[in-house]
Amino acid sequence: MSVPLKVIYNEESTKSIGNDLRKVAVQPIVNYSNISKSYGDLQVLRNIDLDIAPGEKVALIGPSGSGKTTLARLLMTLEEPTSGTIEVDGEMLWHQKTNGKLVKANEKHLHKVRGNIGMVFQHFNLFPHMTILRNVMEAPRNVLGLSKEEAVERAVTMLKQVGLANKIDAYPAQLSGGQKQRVAIARALVMRPKVMIFDEPTSALDPELVGEVLEVIKAIAAEGEMAMLLITHEMDFARDVADRILFFDQGRIIEQGPPKRIFNNPESERLQTFLSRFNRH
């Protein structure tokens, strides 16, 4: 009899119940509703529906070109959906209501809603003409309107958290890839977003530098408050950090669930095939 008990109370199932409860009780921080995206004839996202709860860590896995990155880029307003709506913290992202009619959002509206979202890019995209400190403090100073002292203090705290307080006067070109990405993480975190996107944060790194970046992301995830959308090919990392895994293929969410269920008992054939490629090495 102890075996079924163990199953019922194992960590995974409570996690997933917790998620379901949150979904019922709390307004999602991100809601994709019937989202599609096409480039000409190429449809990269097909009618995606997705809720992310506040503080939830969602990992997107799947083959290259399956639409994961596009899904994240729509949320960051780097690309516009072809159809469907996205809500962030209860507010339309790409649309706004004017005289009761739903119209395309203007820049002012986008600016307001976008403030809830942060993003870490595959290729870091640090500002090469600024020191590390300025990379991190420039947005708090200009976008959030903090005083110089406050912005510096917040930036230094963040840089300490990613272990780079000793590099504040360096320029990005003087850092290793792993250090660059840690600065990029600090730069995004310092804005205190409610949702943070990590778009393949370790894909451009030399293998020996992947670990330090994943450690930093894990530590941030452990703090809990912020929702995360993680696009990754690091399956062990996804398993450790995520509350929920989404498997993408050909612009659709093929399968989703708690990490253990997804990795141990994949249901769809496509997910099984996808995972077998990782298990082999």
Partner 1 sequence: MWNWDYTLLILPQILEALKLTVSATFVAFAVALVVGLILTLARRSDFKPLSLFASGFIEFVRSTPLLVQLYFIFYVLPEHGLSLSPFIAGVIGLGLHYSTYLSEVYRGGIESIPPGQWEAAKALNFTPLETWRKIILPQSIPPIIPVLGNYLITMFKETPVLSAITLVEIMQTAKMLGSHSFRYLEAFTIVGVLFLVLSYSSSLMVRRLEVRLNLR
Please list every residue from 3 through 62 that binds partner 1, using CB under 8 A.
none
Please list every residue from 138 through 167 that binds partner 1, using CB under 8 A.
138-139, 142-143
- What is the distance between the alpha carbons of residues 254 and 251, in angstroms, rounded to a whole number? 9
Work out whether 273 is an interface residue with partner 1 (CB under 8 A): no
Q: CB of residue 178 vs partner 1: minimum separation in angstroms?
A: 18
Angle at 245 between CA 267 and CA 20, to 5 degrees: 95
With CB under 8 A as the contact rule, the residue among 21, 39, 103, 123 that binds partner 1 is 123
Which amino acid makes up residue 238? A
Work out whether 74 is an interface residue with partner 1 (CB under 8 A): no
**Which of residues 115 and 211 has its CB atom nearest to partner 1 in the complex?**
115
**Which of residues 71 and 191 has its CB atom nearest to partner 1 in the complex?**
191
With CB under 8 A as the contact rule, the residue among 12, 22, 63, 78 that binds partner 1 is 78
Q: Are 235 and 279 in contact (CB under 8 A)?
A: no
How far, CA to CA in Å, does 173 sit from each of 124, 126, 166, 180, 194? 12, 9, 15, 9, 30
**Which of residues 135 and 161 has its CB atom nearest to partner 1 in the complex?**
135
With CB under 8 A as the contact rule, the residue among 28, 67, 118, 257 that binds partner 1 is 118
**Which of residues 108 and 280 has its CB atom nearest to partner 1 in the complex?**
108
Residue 59: CA count within 13 A, CB half-sphere:
27
Q: Which stretch binds partner 1 (CB under 8 A): 40-48, 82-90, 137-145, 223-231?
A: 137-145
Q: Are 184 and 176 in contact (CB under 8 A)?
A: no
Exposure b/e, 14-26, CB count within 10 A at least 16 = b: ebbeebeebeeee
- What is the distance between the alpha carbons of residues 200 and 233, in angstroms, rounded to a whole number? 7
List residues near partner 1 by CB under 8 A: 76-78, 107, 111, 114-115, 117-119, 121, 123, 125-129, 138-139, 142-143, 187-188, 191
